[in-house]
Chains A and B, each alone.
Chain A
Amino acid sequence: MRKLFDATFFTLTLLCAVTACGVLLLLVSAILFKGFPALSWHFLTEQIRLVGAEGGIFYNLVGTLILIGTALLVAAPIATGLALTHSVYLRNHRAKRSLELLLFTLNGVPSILFGIFGLIVFVKFLGWGKSWLAGGILLGVMILPTVTVALLERIRMIPRKYIEAAAGLGLSQSQIVRSIILPQSIGGLVTGSLLGLARAAGETAPIMFTATVFAGAALPQSVKESPVLSLPYHIFILAQDSFDPAITTKLWGSAAVLLALVCVLSLIALPLRLKIHEEAQHG
């Protein structure tokens, strides 16, 4: 009876794993299969033409890179400050818990709310109009919890003896932060950022009212009224016109490029994560 239970349990878990992998595989293969005909060097290097039916997605790719680059510049320093506040400067347990709660709440905020918030604050109140900076900031705030939590995990893994030894040598707290805590936890910042950016790259809701347009933008020249093109919004708009077969192919092509971008970001993070696990095991 117990063996039967074990076998059933094993089959069920296996089934869950197979389902997850299967869905992913199906999704990826469908996108690659349908998008492959559109992929070419020209597709990546040409501008959009004929409302997406012709040309490529060069400025969409560039726009998305600008957005996630800005998001990184926004999220990394704030996350570092937050993580240090949490693990070094805050001594009160309740204050630490509140900060964690805040991060988890922020992580749970639906992305469309970021879009609405950005519309009200940046586009309307600050009068920026649609701007790459607004989108970058919103995406940065959105991935803040991911980056901070990854950094916190890494700081938690720093052996306490290092900090004691450094203090024993007369280093002040800020010197310990600079010479021990930051160098030892930089891996967490990198992996957290990459995972966060992989998510940010595909977000449509936070940028559709605030930072991106479908056509008619290239490189931004200033902050105000300077939107960018972006991959997710491009896909979103094309999907609404997908009755045209030429557009459909371009749509799947764009999806494949976005998927590749996200995969690359996750894959860069992978060896770093593995290395960190290894270090943790070897002390």
Chain B
Amino acid sequence: MVELKQVSLPCQPEPISAPILEVRNLTVRAGKRVILQNVSLAIRPNQVFGLIGPSGAGKSTLLKCLNRLAELTPGLQVTGDVLYHGRSIFDRSVDPDHLRTRIGTLFQQPVVFPRSIYQNVIFGIKHVGDIPRRQRMEVAAMALTEAALWDEVKDRLDEPAQRLSVGQQQRLCLARTLASSPEVVLMDEPTSALDPKSTTAIEELIVRLKSNRTVVLVTHNIPQARRVADWLACICVTDNVGQMVETSCCDQMLTSPQCQAVVEYLKHSQG
């Protein structure tokens, strides 16, 4: 059994602001099987935090723990802690539904509801929050603009959302998430189902989102991580259990990884 150290190296410039999200000794079990073990990491505001690592290592599961979406999957037990602004998200006083409006999610496959484009954008704010009815249109327009979709759909907001291309659907989903103005956006391989053009659009968006939000991005695509991420954490399977093996700034991780598992992973994923 190889003992792997969790390596955390100082990078330049080192982020100094207090973390917006902090994961402490997070362990996730499905029945008796351990999916993730003892993951600890700190995500600082206004950065793109990339989670990389081989398939099945538990990156998506980790992401789902950050806004308690994992609770919806029956049989998952989460131990350890996640702090949001220094406060545990598992605290009794925290309403998970409200938490998810602050920490939004963008899924791997775009999930549009069988409704119009407009109804999709306002789906979240219609049910949650206190945005008056007459301001919904305004919020929808802003969210669609932020998601770089406004020009393409402004004349056909009443059309069914399924008529959009997959790339447009993914941006629509992003707009829907942004409409509830979350502080953090969790993205689970948001471009893996998209063509190169839409991928570029989403990547540009991620970089732009950084100015006023924090993004946690799960990606398989190392060039993508290089293009958009500021900080990376690598989750690898060690002893059949997903563990965080290394975290450092993007350049350092990709040019001179310290951990053998990361070296192996990068070698494989870059061919």
**Residues of A at under 8 Å CB distance from B?**
91, 159, 161-172, 175, 179-180, 184
Other A-B pairs, 15, CB within 8 Å; known A161-B109, A170-B99, A171-B127 = A159-B111, A162-B113, A164-B107, A165-B173, A167-B69, A168-B69, A168-B107, A168-B177, A169-B123, A169-B177, A169-B180, A170-B101, A170-B129, A170-B180, A180-B113
Residues of A within 8 A of B124 (CB): 169-171
Interface presence of B176 (CB below 8 A): yes
B74 contact from A91, A169, A184, Cβ within 8 A: A91
| Inter-chain contact total with CB atoms closer than 8 Å | 61
Interface presence of B248 (CB below 8 A): no
Interface presence of B72 (CB below 8 A): yes
Closest chain-B Cβ to A158's Cβ sits at a distance in Å of 11
Residues of B within 8 A of A169 (CB): 100-101, 104, 123-124, 127-128, 176-177, 180
Q: Are A179 and B107 in contact (CB under 8 A)?
A: no
Could you name 23 residue pairs across A and B whose Cβ atoms are closer than 8 Å?
A91-B74, A159-B111, A161-B109, A162-B111, A163-B72, A164-B69, A164-B72, A165-B107, A165-B111, A166-B113, A166-B123, A167-B97, A168-B104, A168-B177, A169-B104, A169-B128, A169-B176, A170-B99, A170-B124, A170-B129, A171-B124, A172-B97, A179-B127
Interface presence of B105 (CB below 8 A): yes
Interface mask (B57-97 → A, CB under 8 Å = 1, otherwise 0): 00000000001010010100000000000000000000001
Closest chain-B Cβ to A173's Cβ sits at a distance in Å of 8
Interface residues on B, range: 20 to 34
Residues of B within 8 A of A165 (CB): 105, 107, 111, 113, 173
CA distance A252 to B124 in the complex (A): 58
CA distance A180 to B115 in the complex (A): 11
CA distance A40 to B93 in the complex (A): 71
Closest chain-A Cβ to B183's Cβ sits at a distance in Å of 13
CA distance A175 to B111 in the complex (A): 18
Q: Are B111 and A164 in contact (CB under 8 A)?
A: yes
Residues of B within 8 A of A166 (CB): 113, 123
Residues of A within 8 A of B69 (CB): 164, 167-168
Residues of B within 8 A of A159 (CB): 111
CA distance A102 to B69 in the complex (A): 33
**Residues of B at under 8 Å CB distance from A?**
67, 69, 72, 74, 97-101, 104-105, 107, 109, 111, 113-114, 123-124, 127-129, 173, 176-177, 180
CA distance A163 to B72 in the complex (A): 9
CA distance A161 to B109 in the complex (A): 9
CA distance A165 to B113 in the complex (A): 9
Residues of A within 8 A of B176 (CB): 169
Q: Are A161 and B107 in contact (CB under 8 A)?
A: yes
Residue of B nearest to A167 (CB): B72
Q: Are A168 and B74 in contact (CB under 8 A)?
A: no
Residues of A within 8 A of B114 (CB): 184
Closest chain-A Cβ to B147's Cβ sits at a distance in Å of 14
Residue of A nearest to B186 (CB): A168
Residues of A within 8 A of B67 (CB): 168
Residue of A nearest to B128 (CB): A170
CA distance A169 to B98 in the complex (A): 9
Closest chain-A Cβ to B129's Cβ sits at a distance in Å of 8
